[in-house]
Amino acid sequence: MLIEEYKIDGANTMRRKLTREQYRRKKKMKRLLVLSSLILLFITGVGLIGGGLSKLGKSIFHQKSRQTMQLVDGFYEKLEVEEMLLTPNEYSRPQIALNKVNGVVIHYTANPGTDAEANRNYFEGLKEGKTYSNGNYIYSSSNFIVGLKGNIVQCVPLNEIAYASNERNEDTISIEVCHPDDTGKFTKKSYKSLVKLTAWICSEYNLQKEDIIRHYDVTGKQCPKYYVEHEEEWLQFKEDVFQMIEENAKNEEKK
């Protein structure tokens, strides 16, 4: 009886034990199943969101042709340019070849407080064919725009002309510079970037000090305003550019 009971108990215990183990295993399997489904769902979700985001990112990327590139390789001062090329169009990026570069023309945006990207977008907006109040179409752009914080945006490639410097469009590279207020004076950061960029262009195209000119020197327009009104500051700018070129040359020799 006792044995029987024991047996039964034992059997029961065994059964219970087995059942418990099976139950545990089942529970474990269930948990694993739920967990793996959750992981799968998560991965799918992340994939979908990620895919969507990257598509969105790519479309923005594509629209702006935006990329940070190091324009100068081995130049003493590292120079980074954000390429945000304009969509080819007859009003701001006519894709006319710039076959020779005999100078670099400095401008100010005449649009106080606005930054590089906003000015770039203004040029982009001209592609629809905007007109002045007199009905004439606006043709305007620049190869580069230097922003208030010294960032540099490129709108037109260096082998294409931009519409910035009138009769000198066809043989110069143009740089527009943003400025915080009506004086037209550049910020320290814009100035520093402008020196670097101009120095690089001069080295690249073998330009001399006299090849750095203002829009004013082409047409007599008060552009860049502050550096037309302050001749000594303009001369200092050209000095600073060539000092950087010399420093770079010295640095190259050391290498």
Q: Which range, of 39-47, 85-93, 223-231, 242-250, touches Zn ion by CB under 5 A?
A: 223-231
Backbone angles phi, psi at 73, to 5 degrees: -105, 115
Q: Which stretch binds Zn ion (CB under 5 A): 75-83, 87-95, 121-129, 215-223?
A: 215-223
**What residues numbered 82-111 form the site for Zn ion, per CB under 5 A?**
107
* Ramachandran category for residue 66: left, alpha or beta (phi over 0 → left; psi -120 to 50 → alpha): beta
Tell me: does residue 244 bind Zn ion (CB under 5 A): no
223 counts as binding Zn ion under rule CB under 5 A: yes
Nearer to Zn ion, 141 or 151 (CB): 141
Question: Minimum Å distance from CB 221 to Zn ion?
Answer: 6
Is 214 near Zn ion (CB under 5 A)? no
Q: How far is the CB of 166 from Zn ion (least distance, A)?
A: 9
Nearer CB in complex with Zn ion: 101/164: 164
Q: Please, which residue, 179 or 215, has the CB nearer to Zn ion?
A: 215
Comparison of 107 and 238: residue with beta carbon closer to Zn ion: 107
φ and ψ at residue 212, rounded to 5 degrees? -90, 115
What x/- string results for residues 30 through 49 when contact with Zn ion is judged by CB under 5 A?
A: --------------------
For 37, how many CA atoms within 13 A lie in the half-sphere containing its CB?
5
Burial class (CB in 10 A: 0-12, 13-18, 19+), 139: middle
Contact by Cβ (8 Å): 136, 88:
no
Q: Which residue, 84 or 223, is less far from Zn ion as judged by CB?
A: 223
Q: Which one among 215, 226, 234, 244 touches Zn ion, defined by CB under 5 A?
A: 215
| Cβ-proximal residues to 120 (8 Å cutoff; 6+ apart), any chain | 84, 86, 145, 153, 155
User: 215 Cβ partners below 8 Å, 6+ apart?
Assistant: 105, 106, 107, 164, 165, 221, 223, 224
Q: Please work out, in degrees rounded to the nearest 5, the angle formed at the alpha carbon of residue 126 by the alpha carbons of 125 and 127.
A: 90
User: Do the beta carbons of residue 79 and residue 72 sit within 8 Å?
Assistant: yes
Size of the site for Zn ion (CB under 5 A): 3
Least Å from the CB of residue 107 to Zn ion: 3
Q: Which residues sit at the interface with Zn ion, rule CB under 5 A?
A: 107, 215, 223
